[in-house]
Structure 1
Amino acid sequence: IEETMANQRDYISRPICNGISVPENKINSLVAEGHGQQILKVLQKFREQNIFFDFKILVKDEIIPCHRCVLAACSDFFRAMFEVNMKERDDGNVTISNLSPKAVKAFLDYAYTGKTEITNDNVEMLFQLSSFLQVSLLSKACSDFLIKSIDLVNCLQLLSLSESYGSVRLFDHALDFVQHHFSLLLRSSDFLEMNFEILQKCLEADELNVPEEESVLKAVLQWTKHNLETRQKYLPNLIKKVRLHQLPEKTLQDFLHSEEHLLKSANCSVIVNDAVTSVQNFSGLFPDARPSTTEKYIFVHKTDEDGENRHTFCYNIKTDKWKELPHTHMIDLPGSSLSSYGEKIFITGGCKGNCYRTVRLHIAEPFHDATDQTWCYCPVSNEFSIASAMKKPRTMHTSVVTLNQLFVIGGKTRGAQETRSLLDVESYNPLSKDWKSVSQLPRGIYYPEASACQNIIYVLGSEVEITDAFNPSLDCFFKYNAMTDQWSELVAEFGQFFHATLIKAVPVNCTLYICDLSTYKVYSFCPETCVWKGEGSFECAGFNAGAVGTEDKIYILGGDYAPEEITDEVQVYHSSRSEWEEVSPMPRALTEFYCQVIQFNKYRDPW
């Protein structure tokens, strides 16, 4: 009886709908597929039937009725008009004078249906109206259409169009096209009509595709003389964008002589004379040569344990060919560090005396007679000279170049084996020939491996110098901002155990990559999330191999699989397509050697 009464109470307490008892807390969700499209169809039908209109667009002599809700939903221009207290909102109409009736109707067709056809005949009209009425999806579609059509005939026109309609995406693509085809454009009459701002942007770009810097200078003169009366005022700014210090001295002297009157009248003589002085005093020390004007190499050097036998090669990245170089007279002490700067190579520090060169043996030396000396090697003249000394002697350090400065990081100074790692960091300006101290490392680091990505230097290493098995773990990861002179310690999970002595850090398209020589794996670092991402594996690599990064590629060279098993193999990783390939082997099998990317102006290429 009690159970029956309870059921009756439960039944009585349920909600009643049209005399039907409905269970509590029961929800039915309705999802109408295609509801949005159905609403659009209904609104379009209202438009076709001329009903429920609440707004008018007045264009030329036509009155075009429409619905406010459709305008506001599709156009930020109309939405803003209806949201604020504008006269047009209250009047129920707006006059548009810069669009044609055809354009407005095309916009309404798109607004009511979400569909339109973009063709060569109507793309500019649609681009104009989508820009003015702030219809972002239509504007992007027009931009994408025009990007696919960029060629030598219309690229300059599209640059102008993108500026008029505020399309950053189209502007960037068109400008990139102009820069990459600049040499071809120079032959066309369109180049002479290029506006000053666009020409200036082109001249600023590293990516400007020209065979030599002299052609940039000739282009500036040609453009200026095409309309000298109005363009002469622009010449000083344009001349400054030409990398005059990358030109031969004779070319600059001839330019001063042949264009003496123009340079004086435009107040440009001082600019060119300063460039002549720079070339005379600092030739080869300017790292800003445009890639298209240079020949790029991988420089490899090793001095054997006896200190007598030296092996020096260069690898032409473009031709995939190696070349053994003549005796370089380079001084590379055990524990020294080597970095390329412009067309020269700087070697810093190291230990004097008969120290072991092999890392495992060098680190265990009872005393490190470190030096503060810096040397400069010029491959163009094959000359070796002494540069300014560092502030502190150091050995087993690392060096890296960024923001036109050479940085030396970590290592140990002169003293007994138990001497702690240096916290001091120094930077060197090859033009002023001055060393200066910058902010110290957050803490000591051994076996430092450094890589520069734009103005950021990443440093990896171990906080332990020697372990029983001589496999110190990779447990230090620092970041240095060369612009703000600030260090920070990064906490990034590597996902597995790494040996500090078996890691190579390289920059690829301004991204930090590490190559693990023990597992044959490659990882990239994301600074935003502070996470390492696996990028694939290479077939094999010896311990103590060399690694360099250039553009979108990583080269891994040589190394050893065992004390008597040294390899000459070279593998290259294409980060853009995540593929490895084997290229020409080195002239000789090497392990524990220096390797650096270096480039020369083509007219100065010694190799």
Structure 2
Amino acid sequence: MRREIDASSCLDVASFAEAYGMSELLEEANDFVLKNFWEVSNTAKFQDLPAEKLLDFISCDSLCVPSELAVFRAVILWIEADPEERLGQAGLLMTGVRFPLMTFREFREVRAVNLRMECFGNKEVELYGSALKEFGFSLPKTKDQCRVRQPKDALILTGGDQLNQDMGQRIPSRELWFANSLRSGTGLVKEIEWRRLGEMPDKPKFRHGAAAMDGRLYVVGGCYFYRWHHSFPLYLYCTLASYDPKQDTWKRLADMQEIRSNFSVVVHEERLYAIGGDKDISTNVDSVETYNPDTDTWSFVHPLDQALSGYAVAVVNGGIFISGGFNCNYLCLVSMFLYDPERGTTYLADMTHDRAQHCMEALRGRLYVAGGVCNLRNFYTDQQACEVYDPVSDSWTDLASLPVPHVGAASAVLEEKIYVLGGYCQEDYSESGLVHRYEPSTKRWENMGKLRGAVADVRACLLQLPQHFRQ
């Protein structure tokens, strides 16, 4: 039932779980509603919600909506399904709408809808009566009346590279960008609204590792200068720094024991794991080390069974899964394996397509793989094919292909949707600054606009930002 939760079924699953006392399933179904509220509000089942259940949802701090106007519109949809019976409950439901978070332009729609409601013959209804007090005509009684809905994850982009055929002319980035809402234009036009968060300390970097753990952003390793000629080596980092969004400060932490680039950092059981990667321009490694934030120390754990870089990694059901990547001969692999820090590697079913420099994200118990490069005789070419792995059946299924190449792209899951961000095209080495989003329910990729700043070998993760960043 967990795997089948979608916008049309989530409310039924929640009702079933509540009736039979299945608390974990109920929490997951309710969480899906909160993360996909606007989509759920447009389903037929939403019209049958009891008023008290609807009020619970819209009063929740973790409700994810593009604006507070979306909450108001959802309530109006529910009322209009049976206006004679439900207009009497409008005043109570409107207490869940946080009118102070609206702009004055958005509030005009509230007034217009109120006039329309009066046409139903109920002169007593005033949808925004209590809102006038909150909206500035008197001071709110409590801070809760004006609380921004939290937690709401922000998509954070760190570092990256701007491509140039002359490697010495590349311009890596120190910048951090974030987005946590969609800006909808006319018709079906949508794009992500990016805002600058700040800069990383020290020098810029790309092909680094980035992860969020316990409310902090960790950035580790990577490189800041790139020349193909052996007299100009790849300059690598072993440094680790953390960013605290509450204090808006960076802290330098212990260095890794080995320099790494073209690798990933993953969070597992409240520790960071830095896996494999390149140690110079033509050598990758099999070592794995873990960072303990309590002691600010790195230590080596069980190595991989072969040198690996340019892979993708994700955690699902408590296991660390690693797909593809370059082996010691820099051939793209089809492998998929489960890595354990104590026992090492357990190989699983191979992917259908070989790939490296790709993305993999966990969503609802499955692993989605997209983009990268693949082998082409003595060279590489773009890999636009996508596939999904089911850990239960140990099998792969093809997905819709990416519309454009995304090599060295970042990726993340935001509000139950998969985002592939930036990268480049292997064929002509041009930048691919686009963002594509995969919607599991429609099984389609859609264009979500362009990145800001550097676009190649950038890293992404989710982090909760304080209110002042988001307003």
TM-score normalised by the chain length of structure 2:
0.59
Partner of 2:452: 587
* Residue number in structure 2 paired with 1:440: 303
8 Å contact kept, 1:180–1:208: no
Match of 2:408 among 533, 541, 544: 544
Could you tell me how far apart the structure 1 residues matched to 2:32 and 2:207 are?
43
Q: Secondary structure at the match of 1:505?
A: strand
Q: Corresponding residue for 2:363?
A: 508
**2:70 equivalent in structure 1:** none
Question: Which residue of structure 1 lines up, in the alignment, with residue 336 of structure 2?
Answer: 477
Higher share in strand: 2
Residues of 2 paired with 1:376 and 1:418: CA distance?
Answer: 29
2:349 counterpart residue number: 492
Q: Is the 8 A contact 2:286 2:303 kept in 1?
A: yes
Instruction: For 1:493, give the aligned amino acid.
Output: D
Aligned equivalents of 1:417, 1:179: Cα separation in 2: 44
Q: Secondary structure at the match of 1:587?
A: coil
Write out per-residue CA displacement over residues 268-324 of structure 1, whole angstroms, 9 at most, x where no aligned residue.
xxxxxxxxxxxxxxxxxxxxxxx9523422425325555576554222245532223
Aligned 8 A contact 2:336 2:350 in 1 = no
Cα drift, residue 427 of structure 1: 1.5
Alignment-derived partner of residue 127 in structure 1:
none
User: Which is higher, the Rg of structure 1 or of structure 2?
Assistant: 1
Q: Is the 8 A contact 1:555 1:573 kept in 2?
A: yes
Match of 1:297 among 147, 150, 155: 155
Q: Is the 8 A contact 2:371 2:406 kept in 1?
A: no
Paired amino acid for 1:336: H
Which of the numbers 250, 275, 294 marks the counterpart of 1:409? 275
Question: What displacement does 1:601 show?
Answer: 5.1
Q: Please give the residue correspondences for 1:70-149 in structure 2 after superposition, counting only pairs within 5 Å.
A: none
For the residues of structure 1 that align with 2:356 and 2:201, how far apart are their CA atoms? 31
Larger helix proportion of the pair = 1
How far off its partner does 1:387 sit? 0.6
Q: Which residue of 1 aligns with 2:289?
A: 426
Give the gaps of 5 or more residues in structure 2: 1-10, 35-50, 64-148, 163-168, 184-191, 373-381
Question: 1:473 aligns to what SS in structure 2?
Answer: coil
Instruction: Give distance in 1, aligned partners of 2:273 and 2:219.
Output: 12
Q: Partners in 2 of 1:463 and 1:179 — Cα distance?
A: 36
Q: Contact 1:545/1:557 (CA < 8 Å) preserved in 2?
A: yes
Q: CA deviation at 1:400?
A: 1.2
SS of alignment partner, residue 580 of structure 1: strand
Q: Following the alignment from structure 1 to structure 2, what is the Cα–Cα distance between the partners of residues 355 and 211? A: 45
For 2:14 and 2:325, how far apart are their aligned partners in 1?
A: 51
The CA deviation at 1:525 is 0.7
Deviations 1:544-576 (A, max 9, x none): 333223353111222333657423321110113
Which residue is equivalent to 1:577? 442
Work out the CA distance in 2 between the residues paired with 1:209 and 1:365: 62
- Secondary structure of 1:340's partner? strand
The answer as to whether partners of 1:400 and 1:450 remain within 8 angstroms in 2 is: yes
1:380-419 correspondence runs (5 A): 380-413=246-279, 419=283
Residues 171 and 461 from structure 1, CA distance in 2 versus in 1: closer, same or farther, beyond 3 angstroms? closer
- Which residue of structure 1 aligns with residue 423 of structure 2? 559
Shift of the 585–456 alpha-carbon distance from structure 1 to 2, 3 Å rule, reads same
Assess if the C-alpha contact under 8 Å between 1:547 and 1:556 holds in 2.
yes
- Preserved CA contact (<8 Å) 2:14 2:25: no
Structure-2 change in CA distance of 1:309 and 1:516 (3 Å): closer
Instruction: Please list the CA deviations of residues 101-154 of structure 1 after superposition, one character each: whole Å capped at 9, or x if unmatched.
Output: xxxxxxxxxxxxxxxxxxxxxxxxxxxxxxxxxxxxxxxxxxxxxx96988xxx
| Root mean square deviation, CA, Å | 4.2
Q: Which residue of 1 aligns with 2:238?
A: 372
Answering whether residue 177 of structure 2 is matched by residue 321 of structure 1, we say: no
* 1:297 partner amino acid: L
CA distance in 2, matches of 1:382, 1:171: 35
TM-score normalised over the length of structure 1? 0.47
Instruction: Decide whether aligned partners of structure 1 residues 594 and 341 sit closer, same or farther in structure 2, where only a CA change above 3 A counts.
Output: farther
Number of positions where the alignment pairs a residue of Structure 1 with one of Structure 2? 335
**Which has the bigger relative contact order, CA under 8 A and spacing at least 6?**
2
Q: Match for residue 61 of structure 2?
A: 211
Q: What is the rounded CA distance, in whole Å, between the counterparts of 1:169 and 1:432 in structure 2?
A: 39
Give the conservation status (yes or no) of the 8 Å contact 2:208–2:459. no
Give, as a single letter, the amino acid of the residue that structure 2 aligns with 1:477.
M
Contact 1:334 1:355 survives alignment (8 Å): no
What displacement does 1:539 show? 2.0
* 8 Å CA contact retained: 2:274, 2:288: yes
Give, in angstroms, the shift of residue 506 of structure 1.
Answer: 1.8
Residues 1:336 and 2:193 are matched in the alignment: no
C-alpha distance in 2, partners of 1:177/1:526?
24
**What letter is aligned with 1:314?**
F
The unaligned stretches of length 5 or more in structure 1 are 1-146, 182-186, 189-201, 214-290
Q: For the Cα contact (< 8 Å) 1:449–1:459, is it kept in 2?
A: yes
Give the Å deviation of 1:326: 4.3
Match of 2:109 in 1: none
> How far apart are the structure 2 equivalents of 1:436 and 1:525?
31
**Aligned AA for 1:211?**
D
Distance (Å, rounded) in 2 between the aligned partners of 1:174 and 1:336:
35
CA distance in 2: counterparts of 1:547 and 1:347, whole angstroms? 16
Of 329-338 and 513-522, deviating more is 329-338
Cα deviation, residue 524, structure 1? 0.8
SS at match of 1:573: strand
**How big is each residue's C-alpha offset from its partner over 1:127-185, in whole Å with a ceiling of 9 and x where there is no partner?**
xxxxxxxxxxxxxxxxxxxx96988xxx9xx95xx5xxxx456995599569979xxxx
The whole-number CA distance in structure 1 between the counterparts of 2:28 and 2:222 is: 47
- Equivalence map 1:454-465=2 (5 Å): 454-462=317-325, 464-465=327-328
8 Å CA contact 1:336, 1:350 repeated in 2: yes
- Using the aligned pairs only, state the percent identity: 16
